[in-house]
Amino acid sequence: MKAALLSLLWLSLVLHSHAQLQNGFYNGKCGTNNVEATIQKYVAQRFASDQTIVAGLLRLMFHDCFVHGCDASILLDGPQSEKTAIPNKTVFGFDLINQIKAALESMCPGVVSCADIIVAATRDATVLAGGQQFDVQTGRRDGTTSFSWLVNLPPPDISVSDSITLFESKGLSSFDMVVLMAGHTVGVTHCSVIKNRLYNYQGTGGPDPSMLGWYMWYIQTYVCPKDATWDNIVYLDDYSSLYTVDNSYYKQLVAGKGILPIDAELASSWQTSWAVNLLANEWGSAFPSLFSQSMVKLGQVDVLTGTQGQIRKVCNSVN
């Protein structure tokens, strides 16, 4: 029965290519240069000195694709661009994308889009962090507009039902949502984000009872003391797996050690708890493949292709 259910879910994740996205889109379009190998080289160089770039790129891609589609609009500068929206103020990795773009422009000007660089670079970072190698379809074009008021991203305290609705509006299933949330396996938050959960859950004046007791005590005592004057970093996964893309995130949730409110609710909601439990246990070995498939689907959200948009000369400005 479980095998049959897994097969059905696998079929639900079968990738339907966008009409003009394709594997190997840049083959032969940059002289003798291999576009994807060039992107991979720069990502590997950054990863060697800064493993947090994995979380940075995953977040950058998610924030780009969820707002106006995967069109690199998050990279554009401007007084009211997406970059200026509060959820994007802590996004990083822009410098790496710009570095890769400059290298590719020197090889073949006006050929490779910033939108494709984001998707390919995020794939490469994920693989370096232990994820499964997978092909990304390319052929995206870059958008020409970016507005902060269009930024509508799921906050850390969003309900599971509202999150499912938001993901479905992007053509992503509730299972895709659960799988993509595993990006938190390399993610962090800050004490200010979870303060209410630690000390005044739903106005009770106490902690959230759904978090494992000793773990709550540890976070309160050593990571986010109530009267602390600093806003400490809180890792969203087990310390032994901080920079590894794996299914340990789900094991944390099942054990009552989810950090963000949405993490905790994923493990308790009837809509998602079944998937969390399977991904933490029986389907753990299938997680790398499922994650890669959902990442490809994310990269297909509302893309520009053909003659739409443009190929920017630099990623932070329109031509």
Q: Which of 16, 18, 63, 190 is flagged as catalytic? A: 63
154 annotated ligand binder: yes
Of 63, 118, 116, 127, nearest to 291 by C-alpha is 127
Any catalytic annotation for residue 190?
A: no
Taking the chain, what is the end-to-end CA distance rounded to the nearest angstrom? 55
Give CA separation, 234 vs 142, 218, 242, 293, in Å. 34, 12, 11, 28
Please, which residues have CB within 8 angstroms of residue 277's CB and are 6 or more apart in sequence? 250, 254, 267
71 annotated ligand binder: yes
Radius of gyration of the chain (CA): 20
246 annotated ligand binder: yes
185 annotated ligand binder: yes
CB-based burial label for 195 (10 Å; 0-12, 13-18, 19+) = middle
77 annotated ligand binder: no
Report the distance separating Cα 122 and Cα 68, nearest Å. 18
238 annotated ligand binder: yes
The rounded Cα 177 to chain-centroid distance in angstroms is: 11
67 annotated ligand binder: yes
Active site residues per annotation: 63
Query: Which residues carry a binding-site annotation for heme b?
Result: 184
Query: Which residues carry a binding-site annotation?
Result: 64, 67, 69, 71, 73, 82, 154, 184-185, 238, 246
Query: Which residues carry a binding-site annotation for substrate?
Result: 154
Query: Which residues carry a binding-site annotation for Ca(2+)?
Result: 64, 67, 69, 71, 73, 82, 185, 238, 246
